[in-house]
Structure 1
Amino acid sequence: MGSLSLWIGLSHGLCNLLLPEREGVVPVISSLLASSPRERERASKFDRSSIQLLSEKKKKTKKKNREPKCCPLYQKGVCLLKFGPILFSPNTSGELSSYQHTKYHKQTKNQWARDDPAFIVICCLLLAVSTLAYCAAYDHSVSHAVFVIIAVLVFHFLLVGVVLATCCWFLTNNYLREEAPNSHVVEQRVEWLYAFDVHCNSFFPMFVMLYVIHYFLSPLLVAHGFIPVLLSNLIFMVAVSYYHYLNFLGYDVLPFLERTTFFLYPIGIFIILSPILILGGFNPTRYFMNMYFSQRL
């Protein structure tokens, strides 16, 4: 009897190793090898537990294989794809919307803000490269060029972004939130990280206009005359207005905020100021170039 039990155990182990996917083979072989009713009952219980373990293992393996494998390169590629909708389709509905990903974050991770800093890192790299190009064209000192690059990254992008995000975060949570209809509704608030994400999204089109397009047009814009003054003011007005428009879209997508058109008011201010600056002969390109770079224009 002992040798028969040992033989049943060995046959069961070999079948599990050789035929892991054929769950019905092990009970048949074990039942054929077991001669007495007691042995058959013991083999049947053992086989049922083995079949259950194998089926659970198969389910876990299939679930693990279905899960997407995200590598850092994949995440950077997805992040780069977000720059296009911000520039060309910020207000469209569907998956191409620049703020459609915020709804996905809320549904999947219960937060409005991005949890991946790749967007900010790429913006900083692009900003550093463009500032380096300006320094190569309009600066003569390496140490001063390094200072300008650090100042643009820290002051123009990060520090100004922190201040603006904090102001918008405070304003939306204290004055623009809808009142809950009853006490049973979960109170929602704007996250500070989401406010900074909105600043980063809004900054990118302004970066394209004032650091890329402006760079190639700078030989014309720094010249004297009415045409350079007109073009320079128009580029700055469009860039700043587009920044505030995207800022409005970022908060308008949140369902618990109201009166978000408040973020469009600065556009009207810049539209009114631009003709005054043009008639006054103020050239913002020459002003900022002389302020940041050693070469006087």
Structure 2
Amino acid sequence: MNPHISLPRHNSSGPSTFGSTPPTRNEGIRMPRFFKRLFKFPQMDFEMAIWEMTSLIIAPKKVFRSIYYHKQTKNTWHRPDPSFTYLLSFFLLLTSLAWSLAYAPTLSQTLRITLTFIFIHFLGTSLLISTLSYFLVGRLLGPGVPGLPGRRRQGLFSQPPGEGEMLEFGYCFDVSIRAFFPVWVVLYVVQFLGMPFVGKEYWVSLFFGNTLYLIAFGYYTIINFLGYNALPFLQHTELLLAPTAVLIILWFASLFGFSMPRHLAPVLWAGANLGSKAV
């Protein structure tokens, strides 16, 4: 039997599918690549994730410079690689064990601290902030009348074909988890090592302890700003730096007697007691 190739009919009312797979009803419903790669560890770029973590402390602006190359090759600002999430979750697991050994006398409290650090502090907070940013930043700081906030439609994990540039929820999540890394370094590592000092009832301890929180939340705000400022279609992103003024005011007010480490230490959120080791 001779192979036969049928040409598309010229009188067909629908679009031609010659040389391509015919469209199906569910073609527009696709699982995001981020979820497809959740358990494909050989495909994850952990080396890139380590470089990003180092750069977030030394030169955070470099982290978001590479998104232009990713946008040109993948047509999405979101990077569907969960390696950063897994790596930071592993670091939180280690620090949760350290906090537990110091301040949690029972196994149940250790498990509670571990789950709280990873699923509430890190993933829960990142999902909350990224959701708020998706609806507020994308709609209020998008393209519009010069000098005024704009509004535009938004995507989730990719740029729909034929649409203009839009903020993706996946990119908001990328920014949020990267902004959490300096918070982990300052409040989960440095604060833990300094708790015997910053938890004391001295004004110098109060000053250094509260300054740690100012640095951590200030870093978080700056990295959020850098992440959204890297998108060329967003305007007035400098408004995202406004929380830094509020942080400075709260930090100055706290120096009159409110010790943040004694009331806001991460281990307290999990129901553990700092005990006499922190005072």
Q: Give the TM-score range, shorter chain.
A: 0.7 to 0.9
The equivalent of 1:202 in structure 2 is 179
The structure 2 residue matched to 1:109, chosen from 61, 70, 74, is: 74
**Aligned partners of 1:257 and 1:294: how far apart in 2?**
44
**Contact 1:140–1:295 under 8 Å retained in 2:** no
**Deviation string, structure 1 residues 219-252 (Cα, Å, up to 9, x no partner):** 1011111111111111101110110000000000
Report the structure, 1 or 2, having the larger helix content: 1
Using the aligned pairs only, state the percent identity: 29
Q: 1:115 to 1:244 in 2, by over 3 A?
A: same
The equivalent of 2:262 in structure 1 is 286
Q: Secondary structure at the match of 1:207?
A: helix
Q: Secondary structure at the match of 1:82?
A: helix
AA paired with 1:294?
Answer: N
Q: Does 1:72 align with 2:37?
A: no
The CA RMSD measured in Å over matched residues stands at 2.1
The structure 1 residue matched to 2:133, chosen from 168, 174, 184, is: 168
Once the two structures are TM-superposed, the CA of residue 186 in structure 1 deviates from its matched residue by 4.4
**Aligned partners of 1:180 and 1:269: how far apart in 2?**
28
Q: Does 1:119 align with 2:84?
A: yes
The structure 1 residue matched to 2:254, chosen from 250, 271, 277, is: 277
**Deviation string, structure 1 residues 240-265 (Cα, Å, up to 9, x no partner):** 01100000000000000001111101
**Deviation string, structure 1 residues 178-224 (Cα, Å, up to 9, x no partner):** 1399xxx9421110010010001111011111111111111101111
Q: Secondary structure at the match of 1:244?
A: helix
The equivalent of 2:166 in structure 1 is 189
The equivalent of 1:177 in structure 2 is 142
- Larger radius of gyration, structure 1 or 2? 1
The structure 2 residue matched to 1:236, chosen from 203, 213, 222, is: 213
Please report the TM-score for the alignment, with normalisation by the length of structure 1.
0.70
**Deviation string, structure 1 residues 269-292 (Cα, Å, up to 9, x no partner):** 01011111111x111111134734
Q: Secondary structure at the match of 1:113?
A: coil
Once the two structures are TM-superposed, the CA of residue 133 in structure 1 deviates from its matched residue by 0.4
**Displacement over 4 Å in runs of 4+:** none
AA paired with 2:241?
Answer: L
AA paired with 1:283?
Answer: S
**Contact 1:128–1:153 under 8 Å retained in 2:** yes
**Deviation string, structure 1 residues 120-171 (Cα, Å, up to 9, x no partner):** 0101110111111011111111111101110121111111111110111111
AA paired with 1:249?
Answer: L
Please report the TM-score for the alignment, with normalisation by the length of structure 2.
0.74
AA paired with 2:183?
Answer: M
Runs of 5+ consecutive residues of structure 2 not aligned to the other structure: 1-40, 147-161
**Deviation string, structure 1 residues 18-57 (Cα, Å, up to 9, x no partner):** xxxxxxxxxxxxxxxxxxxxxxxxxxxxxxxxxxxxxxxx
Q: Does 1:81 align with 2:57?
A: no
Runs of 5+ consecutive residues of structure 1 not aligned to the other structure: 1-70, 92-96
**Contact 1:180–1:187 under 8 Å retained in 2:** no
**Aligned partners of 2:64 and 2:243: how far apart in 1?**
21
**Contact 1:244–1:266 under 8 Å retained in 2:** yes
